[in-house]
Structure 1
Amino acid sequence: MATTQTPETMKAVVNRGYGKGAVESFPYPSPGPGSVTIRVLHSLVHNNSQKLYRGEGLMLRKEPEWPCIPGGYGVGRIASLGPDTTAFKPGQLVLFEPFVHARDDPDVAILWGTNVGFDEKTTKFSKDNWHHGSWAEYTRSPLENTWAIDEDKITKLGLRTQDLVHLGPLAVVYGGLRKINVQAGETVLIAPATGIFSGGAVHVARAMGANVIAASRNADGLKELESKYPGIKTVQITGGEEDAAAIAAHGPIDAFVDVSPTVATGSSHLGVGMTAVKTGGRICLMGGRGDQTLPHPYILMVFKDITIRGSWMYERKHVKSLIKMAEAGVLRLDKAAGMEVIGDFPLEKFEEAMEEATKCASGRIMVLSS
């Protein structure tokens, strides 16, 4: 195994039960075949991290395995190479992301660092292989989930390493936009549009050259979007019959993207958005609503040749493409573009970071740095 000098232990946020975490000394995660170990520079603190940490709202088949290190998306430098690594070099700047697939079964996929699976097979895959995440000084990452960053290009753009953590949430919505083949010049309705992911969809769609209609209940959030993205159209939705007319006033809609959180279950905007799409249009559902049926007339979907696509996460080619957009400066990740790291905490302050992360909205993220 090729390697640089590495420690035997590291500092890490170690959970020993829901709500029972602390920074402890933990064994160094040496890489094996198909993986590398990364010296973590910055790791995303998701706005839902506090709920996951406490185990709130999780529908589990059984108690997860403990201890566990949380954390998914982040940026770091290669520390140790597995025996079959061919492209990475020690010290190289990389992005890592947590959407891990079993190599022999594409139906088995997990988010590493969450300590949960969706069924017995995914739970075992997580427990036996990718149980620990990135809220630590080092993390082990699959080669498929490790992405080289052209540091020279990033530096010339004036970006800091922590700015690159934005690429994690943006990859999720970029994957959805790509899956419904959004093209430059098309009109895309995004609703809601002021959260971390939904606001990210606005940012990415604009970078792709699309015309955007942003719809939300949040009037202040919409005003902020208008200031960040001159030329976009906004609609403040109320839940009333006037919403359909307000959206239709902006002309034919090629695609509708729904990024609703769970709390938006039952919200009328989903049906309004689906109905607003023109003949031959596309709909992408990538939120967390709990609706059991879709509020869209069956026969209307047939007569209008509508494509409805669900999107959980992204494909590998989407991550690679998104990184190239950032390196080219097409996808801006700086504060001037409305993409801001509003908090940068040490590992020891992970609980404070989680609390602050609950306040994050469009274009704003929180990170832990080690």
Structure 2
Amino acid sequence: MVVGTPLQQRKNNMSQTTLKSLNGHDRAFEPIIVADIGGTNARFAVVTEFNLETNQFVIDHQFTFPSAEFQSFESALSAFLAKLTIKKPSRACFAVAGPIKGQQVYLTNLGWNFNTQDVKSDFGFSELAVINDFAAFAFAAPHLSKEDNIQVKTGQADPNANIAVLGPGTGFGAACHVKDIHGSAVMSCEAGHISLAAVTELDRQLLQVLKESTQHVSVETVFSGPGLARLYKAMAQVKGVPAEDLNAAQISARANECDVCDATLNQFCDWIGSVAGDIALTFGALGGVFIGGGILPRMTERLISSRFVERFTEKGIMSQYAGQIPVTLVVQDNIPLIGAAACLHDRDQFS
């Protein structure tokens, strides 16, 4: 409901414009405590400003703690707050590598679990959100810097369209930043557990070998840290050579001297192009696709020289549609912290 006369509304709008115009910074922005909680480290920071001109958040007061040093999330958060030299912000958003069920958050690798309402009350937050790490990636996507990341595929991003994020790491994650005339939201999903599809004859041969030991060959079966080792063993069997017991790091390190390792990495980059294209079509990601995770940023040159773009675009009658979608490999730091800030900031913009 619109309240006030047209003149009053114009004055209100002018007031907001003035409030948000000093040096390009949003003077109405209230600081946000953000966190990136993983199995190895718990990273905390305070987002102090939002730059309207660059669409970037300013991250200050960063501290990183080894997660294993704490018995609970609450004790890690308390340690961060004890180090702050500024007044404690009343808003917070945490990105966590674990499942969230209602108000319960589980970090299985750490044995931590907490209730969001209890944390909000115990620490005196007026506003608190907890999101998973790939939801944070999706929230961060519109705020990423082009200069700090790598374009894998050119295209024309529609600024008003959906954005897809995905990536292989310990597992395979994906999410979508959805936009419409009413605002924006993030949709999480379980794309890592959809069935992996074969496109080429080599894909089909590898898939057949993988099915001998895995009843359901999902995207994550191949596109993850353990998945790269599975793909290597399948590649060795298809090529008729004995496989060694190699992990992902060893496969990457030996690619220059081992034909099977080299073929495995090439296949990994090629095949994930098809997967990324499928996810782009599923989400209608005309706003672009952003790839992260812990694996592909370590093989940038191989990804760019692979058949990723060709495989991404080969979608039959939808090839032209897929062809216009840009793909960016995200190597920029602090993505979960940016996404946590964007989660609350975006909510404010459309509330």
Same fold (TM over 0.5): no
TM-score by length of 1: 0.32
Indicate the structure with greater helix content: 2
TM-score by length of 2: 0.34
Q: Which has the larger radius of gyration?
A: 2
Indicate the structure with greater strand content: 1
